Amino acid sequence: MNARIANAAMSEVANLSLSRRGFLRGIAAGTFVLATGLRPARAEATKYGAEAMSGGLKDDPRIFLTITDDGTVSLLCNRAEMGQGVRTSWAMVVADELEAELARVKVLQAPGDEARFGNQNTDGSRSMRHHFQALRRIGAAARQMLEAEAAARWQVPVAEVRAARHEVVHAASGRRIGFGALARDAALRPVPVADALVFKNPEDFRYIGRDGVALVDNVDITTGKAVYGIDARLEGMAYAVIARPPVYGGKVKRYDAARALQVPGVLKVVPIEETPIPSAFQPLGGIAVIAENTFAAIKGRSLLEIEWDDGPNARYDSAHYREALEAASRQPGKVVRSNGDVDAALAGAARRVEATYYMPHLAQAPMEPPTATARATQDLCELWCSVQNPEAIRTDLSKRFSLALDRVVVHTLLLGGGFGRKSKPDFASEAAILSRAMDGRPVKLTFTREDDLHNGYLHTVSVARLEAGLDAEGKAQAWLHRTVAPTIQSIFMPNAEQSGAFELAMGAVDMPFAIPNVRVENPPAQAHTRIGWFRSVSNIPHAFAIQSFAAELAAAAGRDPKDYLLELLGPDRVIDPAAVSDQWLYGEDPKRYAFDTARLRGVIERVAREAGWGRSLPSGHGLGIAAHRSFVSYAAVVVEVAVSADGKLTIPRVDIALDCGAVINPDRVRAQLEGAVIQGVSLATVGEISFKAGRVVQGNFHDYPVTRIDAAPKHIHTHLVIPTGFDAPLGGVGEPGLPPVAPALTNAIFAATGKRIRSLPIRDQLA
């Protein structure tokens, strides 16, 4: 281990297990069984939210907190940091309830271990939503242990002492003592049971809900010291890249590595066995080149001569596949929601409106491509990598190598973006396989950008066909939505052709409009590449289709799009998920998280007001609106576009409103919304991955462009709907902002030009 990484995340994890004794001195693990008392008892069989996640939810302060003699508080962050700010936001919550100074809280990264730390899958906009109250319990419990210790030392009733600003104070006598001086003995005290916890009055919060908190990683990031997965460095490390089958399900027929092996620095060429379809999170196979540095590995790979057997997906062609999806959308499909009698209502409609929408595959393309470093011997496999779901790679590798789970150690480093790509740890398995092939020498496996685009887990390609029946007043009486898209389940289940309940419940079946006759159908679609989660997932195509179509209906009815959208939404009500065949609800309890249409109305009205909906605009400008609820949060967007006479699109302004329940870290919520707007603009204007002969056509950022600063909206205004108090259920933040962006943009283009965009990306459709 060299000094660089020893100074960074991983050794801090190692140190922690030692320094924990600073807080827990003399206490053997397992001595206390009080931790179970911290978890609220739940009698019913059905579990929701954090408790339904693998590993569950842990809130024992002894697992997550260390206070050393100098008063430094170390917090183990149990979720991966990928730009959502979780390390900062978690520290804010714990520091507040602990009465610690945030500047004296050090955030360390928990290694992968769900049995010990609870669920660690950083996915689904869940980290703060599931953990806010648990983090408060952690902070409050530790504070009360410190207060109890101080009171005992001073021999005064505990009610007379109070923790404040990193010390405990006895006001009556003026005595005060710092956390550091109390920590060792405080740790010997029992952890308070849940009922005994006393939480701060939210009015006294110093960090929670406050703006202006600096990111805990700000200094490291701005000085180049932050250690991402790709930055791991181990003593004697070798570097590898892999030539993978260009077609999903393909394999190596024969190869010649002679020229590759002549490249100075190339150490070894290693074939990796392919995984048959469906390959889940397992490696695709191929030929690895291992070298003394990344450049030699890349150069060696370019000299491999490989003949591929392309397998069953060799004819996957995006142009043809689109036609197949469109044909499927014209046929009836599996009914996944049905209310009323759509056929009769359509037959009796004064006017019928129909439209078909298309979205291509997308690659997450995080700026840090997938990369992992492994040191895998016969009895121990260690990984340093940027993964969203460390337990997934531990499980995979313990099976692959027949190791006990605790012999697979995952050190989660910072993620240089994730967006769903890094929830699939195929790259970590590859690194471990290669380290074993090098007899335990550490190997860093890097995806080049080309590898990232060619061998990804892509956002699904999709067609949506919508048909509505309007009455004589233009009011919608019937709604038929056919959603056709290869499913993420296809990476796990052979020949899976129907969308999963979780995909359908991302905007399709949970469509909230108050229309008496609704049917949602799901015709089959076969996958020909790896389909995976992409930030916001199926909400993106569903919101694009539904929110575009709502504006098309408004136009057909001759109505203002915002007024018509509110009319479609109908009277305020809470939608019973069962009534709309929503079998998922993001895993949350319907009693707390059912769709509340008043909240969607609230963000629509807010964003319209803030954006000056209806204001007069220069020629060539237009405003578009869209709203969507996802990850149990409510978002609405107004985009202003300017389209020049020659079809050049610019975006002077975007307003976005979010109701995610209580807001813990407003600065990071705004940052997520700003990012969602730009990523939404990017996928709507230029994002497309396409296939020919089974292969991804695009190779790098020249032909898979993402929005640059000069094409980004000039002004983004974020508007947070913040409830009073912090007891209401929290919604997601990382993903809900994205889905309404694309339809708000295309609705604005319609307003500006009269041209309706039904196929993304927009690219040169305005020329």
> Does 388 engage in binding with another protein (CB under 8 A)?
no
> Does 708 engage in binding with another protein (CB under 8 A)?
yes
Per CB under 8 A, which region of 68-76, 325-333, 575-583, 695-703 contacts another protein?
695-703
Q: What are phi and psi of 76, to 5 degrees?
A: -85, 120
CB of 456 to another protein, least distance (A): 14
CB of 36 to another protein, least distance (A): 36
> Does 258 engage in binding with another protein (CB under 8 A)?
no
118 vs 425, which CB is nearer to another protein? 425
Q: Can you list the positions of beta strands (E) in 294-426?
A: 305-309, 334-339, 351-359, 371-376, 381-385, 408-412
Indicate if the alpha-carbon torsion angle 65, 121, 113, 56 is positive or negative.
positive
> Does 389 engage in binding with another protein (CB under 8 A)?
no
> Does 44 engage in binding with another protein (CB under 8 A)?
no
Per CB under 8 A, which region of 80-88, 425-433, 525-533, 574-582 contacts another protein?
80-88
**Contact with another protein (CB under 8 A) among 23, 90, 207, 239:** 239
CB of 236 to another protein, least distance (A): 13
615 vs 702, which CB is nearer to another protein? 702
> Does 644 engage in binding with another protein (CB under 8 A)?
no
> Does 103 engage in binding with another protein (CB under 8 A)?
no
**Contact with another protein (CB under 8 A) among 210, 449, 573, 758:** 449
Angle at 751 between CA 749 and CA 752, to 5 degrees: 65
Instruction: Calculate the alpha carbon distances from 434 to 26, 283, 290, 315, 710 in Å.
Output: 41, 11, 8, 31, 42
Nearest to 366 by CA among 413, 421, 424: 421
> Does 648 engage in binding with another protein (CB under 8 A)?
no
551 vs 706, which CB is nearer to another protein? 706
> Does 82 engage in binding with another protein (CB under 8 A)?
yes
> What's the CA gap between 27 and 486, in Å, rounded?
53
> Does 684 engage in binding with another protein (CB under 8 A)?
no
> What's the CA gap between 25 and 196, in Å, rounded?
24
> Does 230 engage in binding with another protein (CB under 8 A)?
yes
Cβ-Cβ contacts under 8 Å for 42 (sequence gap 6 or more)? 51
Exposure class string for 550-571: b at 16+ Cβ within 10 A, else e: bbbbbbbbebebbebbbbbbee
CB of 219 to another protein, least distance (A): 6
CB of 132 to another protein, least distance (A): 20
> What's the CA gap between 275 and 283, in Å, rounded?
6
**Contact with another protein (CB under 8 A) among 715, 727, 728, 755:** 715
Indicate if the alpha-carbon torsion angle 758, 763, 766, 767 is positive or negative.
negative
| Contacts to another protein from residues 286-305, by CB under 8 A | 293-296, 298-299
> Does 720 engage in binding with another protein (CB under 8 A)?
no
Tokens of 239: 């570097």
**Contact with another protein (CB under 8 A) among 7, 31, 222, 302:** 222
> Does 417 engage in binding with another protein (CB under 8 A)?
yes
80 vs 145, which CB is nearer to another protein? 80
> What's the CA gap between 435 and 483, in Å, rounded?
44
**Contact with another protein (CB under 8 A) among 29, 214, 693, 728:** 214
Q: Can you list the positions of beta strands (E) in 227-370?
A: 238-243, 251-256, 266-272, 286-291, 305-309, 334-339, 351-359
> Does 215 engage in binding with another protein (CB under 8 A)?
yes
> Does 383 engage in binding with another protein (CB under 8 A)?
no
> Does 469 engage in binding with another protein (CB under 8 A)?
no
Query: Are 478 and 345 contacting, i.e. CB atoms less than 8 angstroms apart?
Result: yes
> What's the CA gap between 67 and 111, in Å, rounded?
19
> Does 208 engage in binding with another protein (CB under 8 A)?
no
Nearest to 188 by CA among 63, 28, 18, 14: 28
Q: What are phi and psi of 668, to 5 degrees?
A: -75, -30
**Contact with another protein (CB under 8 A) among 209, 265, 311, 440:** 265
In the chain, what are the helix, strand and coil shares in percent, each to the nearest 5? 35, 20, 40
453 vs 569, which CB is nearer to another protein? 453
Helix axes 561-569, 539-557, angle to 10 degrees: 110
Nearest to 415 by CA among 82, 748, 36: 82
- Whether the link from the prior residue into 278 is cis, omega within 30° of 0, is yes
Nearest to 751 by CA among 572, 505, 559: 559
CB of 82 to another protein, least distance (A): 6
Number of residues that bind another protein (CB under 8 A): 70
> Does 492 engage in binding with another protein (CB under 8 A)?
no
487 vs 718, which CB is nearer to another protein? 718
Q: How deeply is 35 buried, as exposed, middle or buried, from its count of CB atoms within 10 A (0-12, 13-18, 19+)?
A: middle
Question: What residues pair up with 647 in beta bridges, in sequence order?
Answer: none
> Does 108 engage in binding with another protein (CB under 8 A)?
no
> Does 228 engage in binding with another protein (CB under 8 A)?
yes
**Contact with another protein (CB under 8 A) among 69, 101, 160, 217:** 217
**Contact with another protein (CB under 8 A) among 84, 313, 630, 747:** 84
> What's the CA gap between 253 and 305, in Å, rounded?
11
> Does 225 engage in binding with another protein (CB under 8 A)?
yes
> Does 649 engage in binding with another protein (CB under 8 A)?
no
Residues in contact with another protein by the rule CB under 8 A: 2, 4, 81-85, 214-215, 217-219, 221-228, 230-231, 233, 239, 264-265, 293-296, 298-299, 365-369, 414-419, 446, 448-449, 667-668, 671-672, 674-679, 682, 700-702, 706-710, 712-716
